[in-house]
């Protein structure tokens, strides 16, 4: 140990540390400055960016000895005397922080730039921030914020009047703590005496194993307190997202089905658990040949992963409408093609993290999650406890996108903290986060589409295989969602769609923004382009002709009451025409750099498929007049804390600033379901609105006044104004409820759905979101590289609860869609960290023109529908359409990496991969 | 001026003490402070493997390790590979006999890496040798004779 002195945010600081201890760990663990985040601990993500002597550095790469004598500034040093800096203010007002986990790093990189250059160009911003990854925002609002530092008047809005919160661009109510470094995420806080836990994982894709004696290891490492195994699971050693499917063990028993599966967990002081190498553990392995990929798992006599799933088939999903062969007979343009996509990683910048403690006969878990109530119920089963004995206290969530719906650290922490009766914490490192948590389902789709000579769609025949990996996770949802959405957002009289989900010895595939719909969209929209070309109709007009409209029936026979796709296409028509013409003109004289513009369309059912998925919200008033919304709808960066408050405030008739928020904690909030399936705005938004209206109704009845009365919320009292008369309600005189409140409103909403019959006919969702996107791309024919130059995105959201947040979702979805299209594929052994697994950086995301279309949904709150997943699904098809105009190559495999595109360009010219005939 | 750290290590069995800067790499210390120039620096960024050494039993690029990180650890470099002044390690001898080296600049790193392989796996397949040595670049030999040299040494060492 040596002593090091440096200035930290202006204060002289001395630490005793090993010289090579990294600055990020010194800041966070030794000095308590947890505003600096660690996303990868390898210099790839930039979340840990701080300033050392005026230069931005990844603090996870800097030994503390190198900071000796230096001036170090972290995010906590940006605000002065509690006042946000101009840069922080701009980030806050422009919506540049969504989940907020990358924000400290972004702010420090931007500070470095602005110190050198107070009027940077967009390109200079790309250069300076190129080392910091963001997975939520699509970077556009970050760029806007930096361009407007010190001049934020355009983004500053007045506090909305009472009743006008919904639809306003209110900045995030929890935005301040996301820009000043004070927000607490999964890895940021745990009791001083918490032990550390590390999972030891299978090094094989398929193997049996046996465990030996752990005592010698404990003797060798006195800091090792305990080792937990499957034998320590008090209840059911299985979890899974469906109430009746619990196939994934918390800790494997004798057999592992994928590389990265947790086998045992070691618990002790940090030093001990990080020095023990996996090879030192007494685990003897017998490796077996794994079954992987698309063919082998479903081949005859393939080794089976699960006893109850012969042939490794999880399930089939079917939708049948009309008669497809008749439909193809009446078609003049028919195309059949096959398409393939790979595993895609969520790439949230916050790895899984949390801590647990036992309180008497209860277990409490603070954790980063998208689904507190589902976590609670799953942990209860694993622990053999009643659900009420489990408390989930969500921390801020540094990005989820579906990947934090399934359990990760929760069961290990609960088992260990329960057994040892001590607080236990765990933070996944990036490698284990990527190796052990779910991915997007790889898909292999063969589809056939036909239209008549007027371009009207006649028939669609679809078969899709989806690799769900080693465990079910969300495989059943994907197999249901895909055939329902298979046609794309078009009216098609004859449909036959079948999906199949199968198991393989691979990383489990689960929920990732779209549940299979983005994969299906790549197929249907490529075929749309091919038919349009054959019948000589412009691709956008072809989609406009076929766009499913209000009153028409979907493939499942559901009559739509809100369907704004035609309006989305109309919003894009002008840019489409201009951009296409520009690309064509450019290509007349271009040599190797060609342009192309493509269009993609999507739809997405909001909420869980054909099952009850209700949300409940409460608003309570305390005797002192405090009004609080209790929301279990998790804000994972998308802004739900803000939009739920807007809905509740307008339902109740109170100004936004007078309403308090309690969120997430399962002891304090009711079940508002999962932050997934684009359901929170629609389902929980309704519940928040109804809770407000219920409370308002109670107050009006108490005052015996009519609907038009207004409520004034005062200290210890309410004043109800009805025309010229006023009624005062003294809150202290009301009898208190169990929780100390005197008035409490409740809102409950379950989207109206019906089960699907054996032909997939029924009403699977309460409503659907729609979108059309266009992409203008530049392709280097020699290199096979694709640069997206600009995008247009028009989204029918029914009613925008908060346009600022809706735009943020669109930008972020486009960025993830661009990644899916061009660069992202998780390949174990090759792309298993954020260095080799490429996600879009700030320089990859072009200008995005957004158009918010509002075709109101009658059952939505003020007409609102979801936007989370719709934002992503149309992007890859639009980019692929652009690549076709530029090169004549139809992209059939995502990601369309330079090597694949170059090979396709050469094949089209009749050349082999070497450029020779 | 940042302070220099005092570091104690064992190199090829001998105890060494040195002072180094916080940002000084181990390859720098070996070559400039300890004058053990057998370890070569080809890229300084962990790409070429010329600086490969053993650090507490792990094969590492010494250009990616800081000098201070060697504190209390055991280092083995090419200078410690031959058992004596008159006798070469079987790997060294076979590299000479089979022409597993040309210019020789990558050779120290490759020998260290190859020895680490044979200690773990006395009978590697050609594929295993190629995978193991993939972190060491050679621009002269085309690798074929390197593989043959490692195979020959492995066979000799197995016979003991």
Model confidence pLDDT, tens digit, residues A332-353: 999 999 999 999 999 999 999 9
- Distance from the Cα of B123 to chain A's closest Cα (Å) equals 20
**pLDDT reported for residue A912:** 59
pLDDT of B2: 59
Is the domain spanning A443-608+758-912 CATH 3.40.190.10? The answer is no
Q: Calculate how close chain A gets to B2, using CA atoms only, in Å.
A: 6
Whether the per-residue pLDDT at B1 is higher than 60: the answer is no
Residues A19 and A2: beta-carbon distance below 8 Å: yes
Give residue ranges of A with CB < 8 Å to any B CB.
2, 19-20, 63, 65-66, 68-70
Question: Rounded to the nearest 5 degrees, what angle is found at the Cα of A766, between the Cα atoms of A472 and A611?
Answer: 35
> Which residue segment(s) compose the domain that B146 sits in?
90-159
**Residues sharing a CB contact under 8 Å with residue A115, sequence separation 6 or more, in sequence order:** A54
Contact residues of B toward A, CB < 8 A: 1-3, 5, 22-23, 66, 68-69, 71
Q: Which of B5, B22, B71 to mutate to test the interface with A (most CBs of A within 10 A)?
A: B22
Which site among B68, B70, B120, B131 would you substitute to test the A interface, given the most A Cβ atoms closer than 10 Å to its Cβ?
A: B68
How many CB atoms lie under 10 A from the CB of residue A30? 14
Q: What is the CATH number of the domain that holds B133?
A: 1.10.150.120
Q: Please answer yes or no on whether B2 and A20 come within 8 Å at the CB atom.
A: no
Inter-residue contact A527 to A493 (CB < 8 Å): no
Residues of chain A in contact with residue B5, where contact means CB-CB under 8 angstroms, are 2, 19, 65
Count how many domains chain B has.
2
Of A675, A679, A631, A671, nearest in space to A651 by CA? A631
pLDDT of residue A914: 52
Q: Is the peptide bond before A895 cis (omega within 30 degrees of 0)?
A: yes
The rounded mean pLDDT for chain B is 95
Q: Which residue, A346, A771, A335, is CA-closest to A523?
A: A335
Q: List, in order, residues 6 or more apart from A274 with CB less than 8 Å away.
A: A196, A198
- Which residues in A838-899 belong to E strands, given as ranges? 847-853, 893-894
Question: Nearest Cβ partner of A68 from B3, B69, B71?
Answer: B3
> With contact defined as beta carbons under 8 Å apart, do A622 and A740 qualify?
yes
Q: Are A41 and A16 in contact (CB under 8 A)?
A: no
pLDDT (0 to 100) of residue B4: 87
Single out the residue of A463, A480, A568, A572 nearest to residue A517, CA to CA: A480
Which residue of A65, A69, A70 is in closest CB contact with B68? A65
| SS3 (DSSP) at A785 | strand
Q: Tell me the C-alpha to C-alpha distance, in Å, between residue A715 and each of A626, A629, A704, A739, B96.
A: 8, 18, 21, 19, 91
Minimal CA separation from A5 to chain B, in Å:
10
Do B75 and B36 share a structural domain? yes
Mutation target for A interface from B1, B3, B60: give the one with most A CBs within 10 A: B3
Residue B9 shares a structural domain with residue B70:
yes
Residues in B closer than 8 angstroms to A68, CB to CB, are: 2-3, 22
* Range(s) of chain A covered by CATH 3.30.365.10: 195-289+347-436, 443-608+758-912, 615-749
* Banded model confidence at residue B3, pLDDT cuts 50, 70, 90: confident
Domain assignment of residue B53, yes or no:
yes
What is the rounded distance in angstroms from the CA atom of residue A116 to the CA atom of residue A401?
Answer: 36
Q: Taking CB atoms and an 8 Å limit, are A2 and B23 in contact across chains? A: no
Of B1, B5, B23, the CB nearest to A2: B5
Chain B residues whose beta carbon lies within 8 Å of the beta carbon of residue A65: 2-3, 5, 22-23, 68
Structure tokens at A42: 């390898």
With contacts defined as CB-CB under 8 Å, which chain A residues touch B2?
65-66, 68-70
Q: What is the per-residue pLDDT for A581? A: 98
**Buried b vs exposed e over A758-780: b needs ≥16 C-beta within 10 Å?**
eebbbbbbbbbbbbbbbbbbbbb
Alpha-carbon gap: A493 to the closest alpha carbon of chain B (Å):
56
Domain end position, chosen among B45, B80, B115? B80
**Pairing verdict, β A615-621 and A627-631:** antiparallel
Nearest CA among A641, A678, A642, A648 for reference residue A663: A641
B106 and B53 in a common domain: no
Closest listed residue to residue A680, CA positions, set A654, A642, A627: A642
| CA–CA separation, A381 and A387 (whole Å) | 8
Using a CB-CB cut-off of 8 Å, the residues of chain A touching B68 are 19-20, 63, 65
Q: How many beta-carbon contacts under 8 Å exist across A and B?
A: 29
Write the ipTM: 0.71
**Chain B residue closest to A3 (CA)?**
B3
Are both B38 and B8 inside the same structural domain? yes
A875-887 helix and A565-589 helix, angle to the nearest 10 degrees = 30
Residue B56 domain flag: yes
**Residue in chain B lying closest to A20 (CA):** B69
Query: Quick one: B48 and B26 in the same domain?
Result: yes
* Distance between CA atoms of residues B53 and A374, nearest Å: 50
Helix A86-93 crosses helix A103-116 at what angle (to 10 degrees)? 130
Q: What is the pLDDT of residue A690?
A: 98
At the top level of CATH, the class of A86-179 is mainly alpha
Cβ-based contacts of A19 with chain B (< 8 Å): 5, 22, 66, 68, 71
**Together in a domain, B47 and B104:** no
Q: Furthest-apart CA pair in chain B: how many Å?
A: 56
What residue in A sits closest to B24 (Cα-Cα)?
A66
Those residues of chain A that have pLDDT short of 70 are 912-917
Q: Does any domain span residue B144?
A: yes
B68/A20 touch (CB, cutoff 8 Å), yes or no = yes
Strand partners, A618: A630, A746
* Alpha-carbon span A39 to A42, nearest angstrom: 8
Q: Are residues B52 and B116 in the same domain?
A: no
C-beta atoms of A63 and B5 within 8 A: no
Q: Which CATH number fits domain A615-749: 3.60.110.10, 3.40.190.10, 3.30.365.10, 3.40.50.10190?
A: 3.30.365.10
In the CATH hierarchy, which fold is given to the domain comprising A195-289+347-436? Aldehyde Oxidoreductase; domain 4 (3.30.365)
For the entire predicted model, the pTM comes to 0.93
Does any domain span residue B85?
no
First-to-last C-alpha distance (Å) of chain B: 54
A842 phi, psi to nearest 5 deg: -60, -30
Residue intervals of chain A classified under CATH 1.10.150.120 are: 86-179
- Report CB contact under 8 Å: B66, A63: yes
Same domain, B18 and B75: yes
How many Cα atoms are found within 13 Å in the side-chain-facing hemisphere of A157? 19
Nearest to A63 among B1, B3, B22 (CB): B22
Residue B127 lies in a domain: yes
Strand partners, A57: A50
What CATH number did the domain enclosing B71 receive?
A: 3.10.20.30
* Residue A506 in tokens: 């691979």
Distances (CA, A) of A688 to A270, A513, A672, A746, B134: 43, 24, 10, 8, 59
Neighbours of A620 (CB within 10 A): 22
Q: Report helix, strand or coil for A809.
A: helix
In CATH, what is the architecture of A2-77?
Roll (3.10)
DSSP string, A231-299: GG-SS-S-B-SBTTB--B-SS--SEESSTT-EEEEEEE-HHHHHHS-GGGS-EEEEE-----SSSGGGS
**Rounded Cα distance, A347 and A277, in Å:** 26
Domain boundary among B18, B50, B80: B80
Where helices occur in A590-664 by DSSP H, the ranges are: 640-652
pLDDT at B160: 80
Antiparallel, parallel or unpaired: β A710-714 and A659-663 = unpaired
Domain end position, chosen among B80, B104, B123: B80
């Amino acid at each position: 140990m040596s002593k090091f002195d440096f200035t930290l945010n202006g204060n002289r600081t001395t630490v005793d540390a090993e010289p090579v201890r990294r600055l990020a760990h010194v800041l966070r663990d030794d000095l308590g400055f947890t505003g600096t985040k660690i996303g990868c601990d390898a210099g790839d993500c930039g979340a840990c960016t701080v300033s050392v002597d005026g230069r931005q550095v990844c603090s996870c790469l800097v030994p503390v000895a190198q900071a000796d004598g230096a001036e170090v500034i972290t995010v906590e040093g940006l605000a002065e005397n509690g006042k946000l800096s101009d840069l922080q203010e701009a980030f806050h007002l422009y919506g540049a922080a969504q989940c907020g986990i990358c924000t400290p790093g972004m702010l420090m990189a931007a500070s470095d730039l602005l110190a050198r250059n107070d009027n940077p160009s967009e390109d200079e911003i790309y250069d300076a921030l190129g080392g910091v990854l963001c997975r939520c925002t699509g970077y556009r609002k970050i760029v806007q914020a930096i361009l407007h530092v010190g001049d934020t008047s355009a983004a500053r809005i007045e506090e909305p009047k009472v009743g006008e919160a919904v639809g306003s661009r209110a900045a995030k109510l929890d935005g301040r703590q996301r820009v000043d470094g004070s927000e607490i995420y999964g890895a940021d806080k745990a009791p001083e005496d918490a032990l550390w836990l590390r999972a030891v994982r299978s090094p094989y894709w398929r193997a049996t194993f046996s465990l030996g004696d752990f005592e010698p290891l404990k003797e060798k490492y006195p800091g090792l307190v305990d080792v937990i195994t499957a034998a320590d699971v008090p209840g059911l050693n299985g979890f899974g997202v469906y109430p009746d499917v619990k196939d994934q063990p918390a800790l494997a028993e004798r057999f592992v089905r994928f590389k990265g599966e947790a086998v045992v967990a070691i618990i002790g002081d940090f030093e001990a658990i990080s020095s023990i190498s996996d090879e030192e553990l007494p685990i003897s392995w017998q490796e077996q040949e794994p079954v992987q990929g698309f063919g082998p798992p479903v081949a005859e006599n393939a080794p089976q992963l699960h006893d109850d799933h012969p042939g490794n088939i999880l399930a089939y999903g079917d939708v049948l409408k009309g008669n497809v062969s008749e439909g193809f007979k009446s078609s003049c343009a028919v195309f059949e093609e096959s398409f393939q996509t790979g595993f895609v990683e969520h790439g949230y910048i916050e790895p899984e993290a949390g801590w647990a403690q036992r309180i008497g006969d209860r277990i409490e878990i603070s954790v980063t999650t998208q689904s507190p109530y589902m976590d609670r119920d799953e942990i209860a089963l694993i622990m053999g406890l009643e659900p009420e004995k489990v408390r989930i206290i969500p921390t801020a969530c540094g990005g989820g996108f579906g990947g934090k719906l399934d359990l990760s650290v929760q069961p290990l922490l609960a088992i260990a903290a329960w057994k040892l009766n001590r607080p236990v914490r765990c933070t996944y490192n990036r490698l284990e986060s990527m190796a052990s948590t779910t991915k997007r389902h790889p898909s292999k789709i063969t589809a056939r589409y036909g239209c008549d000579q007027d371009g009207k769609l006649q028939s669609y025949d679809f078969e899709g295989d989806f690799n769900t990996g080693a465990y079910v996770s969300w495989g059943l949802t994907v197999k249901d969602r895909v055939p329902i959405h298979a046609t794309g957002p078009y009216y098609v009289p004859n449909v036959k769609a079948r999906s199949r989900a199968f198991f393989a010895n691979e990383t489990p595939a689960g929920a990732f923004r779209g549940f299979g719909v983005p994969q299906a969209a790549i197929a249907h929209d490529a075929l749309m382009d091919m038919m349009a070309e054959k019948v000589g109709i412009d691709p956008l007009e072809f989609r406009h002709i076929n766009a499913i409209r209000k009153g028409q029936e979907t493939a499942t026979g559901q009559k739509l009451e809100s369907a704004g796709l035609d309006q989305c296409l109309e919003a894009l028509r002008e840019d489409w025409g201009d951009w296409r013409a520009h690309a064509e003109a450019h290509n007349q004289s271009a040599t190797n750099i060609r342009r192309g513009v493509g269009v993609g369309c999507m739809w997405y059912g909001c909420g869980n498929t054909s099952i009850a998925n209700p949300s409940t919200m409460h608003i309570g008033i305390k005797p002192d007049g405090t009004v609080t919304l209790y929301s279990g709808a998790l804000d994972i960066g998308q802004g739900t804390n803000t939009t739920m408050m807007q809905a509740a405030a307008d339902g109740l008739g109170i100004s936004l600033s007078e309403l308090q928020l309690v969120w997430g904690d399962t002891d304090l909030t009711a079940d508002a379901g999962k932050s997934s399936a684009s359901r929170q705005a629609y389902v929980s938004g309704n519940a928040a609105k109804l809770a407000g209206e219920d409370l308002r109704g109670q107050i009006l009845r108490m005052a015996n006044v009519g609907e038009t009365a207004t409520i004034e919320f005062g200290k210890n009292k309410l004043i109800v104004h009805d025309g010229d008369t006023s009624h005062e309600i003294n809150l202290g005189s009301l009898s208190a409820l169990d929780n100390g409140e005197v008035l409490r409103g409740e809102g409950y909403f379950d989207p109206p759905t019906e089960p699907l019959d054996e032909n997939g006919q029924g009403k699977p969702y309460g409503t659907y979101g729609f979108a059309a996107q266009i992409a203008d791309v530049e392709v280097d024919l020699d290199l096979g590289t694709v640069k997206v130059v600009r995008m247009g995105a028009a989204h029918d959201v029914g009613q925008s609860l908060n346009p600022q947040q809706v735009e943020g979702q669109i930008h972020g979805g486009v960025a993830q869609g661009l990644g899916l299209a061009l660069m992202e594929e998780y390949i174990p052994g090759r792309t298993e960290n954020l260095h080799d697994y490429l996600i879009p950086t700030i320089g990859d995301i072009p200008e995005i023109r957004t158009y918010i279309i509002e075709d109101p949904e009658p059952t939505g709150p003020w007409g609102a529908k979801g936007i989370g997943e719709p934002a992503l699904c149309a992007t890859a098809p639009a980019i692929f359409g652009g690549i076709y105009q530029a090169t004549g190559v139809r992209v059939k495999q995502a990601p369309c990496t330079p090597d694949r595109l170059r090979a396709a360009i050469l094949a089209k010219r009749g050349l082999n991969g070497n450029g020779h005939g | 001026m940042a302070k220099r750290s005092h570091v104690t290590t064992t190199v090829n069995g001998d105890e060494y003490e040195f002072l180094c800067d916080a940002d000084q790499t181990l390859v720098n210390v070996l070559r400039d402070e300890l004058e053990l120039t057998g370890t070569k620096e080809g890229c300084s960024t962990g790409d070429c493997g010329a600086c490969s050494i053993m650090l507490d039993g792990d094969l590492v690029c010494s250009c990616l390790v800081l000098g201070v990180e060697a504190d209390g650890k055991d280092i083995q470099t090419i200078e410690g590979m031959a058992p004596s002044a008159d006798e070469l390690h079987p790997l060294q001898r076979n590299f000479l006999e089979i022409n597993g080296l040309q210019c020789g600049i990558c050779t120290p790193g490759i020998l260290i890496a190859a020895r680490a392989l044979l200690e773990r796996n006395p009978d590697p397949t050609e594929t295993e040798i190629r995978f193991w040595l993939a972190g060491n670049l050679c621009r002269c030999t085309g690798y074929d004779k390197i593989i043959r040299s490692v195979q020959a040494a492995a066979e000799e060492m197995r016979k003991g």
